[in-house]
Amino acid sequence: TLRNLMGIDSTLQTGDDSLMVFYYQRDSILNITADSLVNIPDTITSLYEFSLGDLMIEDITQEASVSLNDLLPYVDPAVADTLSANDGNATIFPPFQLQSPVTVDLSPFEQYETLTFSDGYFDVKISNELPVTLTNIRFDIMDVVNHEVIQSVTLDQLLAGEVTHDTVFLQGKTLSNTFSYIINSVESAGSYPDSVLIDLSKGFSIQMNARDMYVVNGFAKIENQIIYAGRLSKEKGIN
């Protein structure tokens, strides 16, 4: 305040309306003006730094399904013809295996563009919807923008109707919002001697659920959070 700048001075008076007035004398010998006593710079700058710490990102779920019909171009042509001819019928399911990798692209996550994680998980659920056991299942979860494999999944077998899970740990990872599954291998010994329903719309699905995510950098839509001074646990959603 002006009082801080001037100090205690009987010539500085405060009126009832809080207006501060400095009284000085002017005569032919001595001339004192206010700007000779107080020098206020043209610009006053104050700098404040705030650290929000880790921010919470809401859970995200995305699923991709690969049907028998999707796999037909990637298996032996004779097997593909057999499956196509018997679509909707109960018969012996022929043995098959992929002859080249299959890429399944996912839609970009709308909640963010890129993030650096301090904590979090991608839970991956793999479901076999076919009436036969699948074996030698190998696929990669690929960050398309960064051209990086973030998780490779290998399963010796997945029984008909079976569901299994895997987890990707996100701590320390920087990820884009666009992913794909690259199915490198999947095989089946078929159903011989049993007859099963062949349905080309069925296959297997891969679901990815991102949860408990805390980020320290990136571009994202942040859910509502309460910011406190000091340090709170992650259960409060902020560090």
Could you give the CA distance from residue 161 to residue 157 in angstroms, rounded to a whole number?
A: 12
pTM, entire model: 0.66
- 173 φ, ψ to 5°? -90, 145
Residue 167 · residue 121 · CB < 8 Å? yes
Residue type, 86: N
Looking at 28-182, list the stretches that DSSP marks H as alpha helix, in order from N- to C-terminal side: 68-71, 77-85
Place of tokens 């990872």: 173
The residues that bridge with 137 in the sheet, in sequence order, are: 155
Tell which residue, 72, 13, 4, 61, has the closest CA to residue 38. Answer: 4
Name the 3-class secondary structure at 201. Answer: coil
Per-residue pLDDT of the chain (239 residues; tens, 9 = 90+): 666 666 666 677 777 777 777 766 655 555 666 666 666 666 667 666 656 667 777 788 888 889 999 999 999 999 999 999 999 999 999 999 999 999 988 888 887 888 898 899 989 899 999 999 999 999 999 999 999 998 899 999 999 999 999 998 988 889 888 889 999 999 999 999 999 999 999 998 888 888 888 888 888 766 665 655 554 444 444 33
Q: Tell me if 118 sits within 8 A of 215, measured CB to CB.
A: yes
120 and 170 Cβ atoms separated by less than 8 Å: yes
- What is the DSSP secondary-structure string of 155-197? EEEE-TT-EEEEEEE-TT-EEES-EEEEEEEEEE---TTSEEE
Tallying the residues shown for the chain, one arrives at: 239
Which of 189, 123, 199 has its CA nearest to residue 159? 189
Q: What angle do CA 60, 65, 71 make, to 5 degrees?
A: 150
Which of 14, 56, 10 lies closest to 227, judged by CA? 56
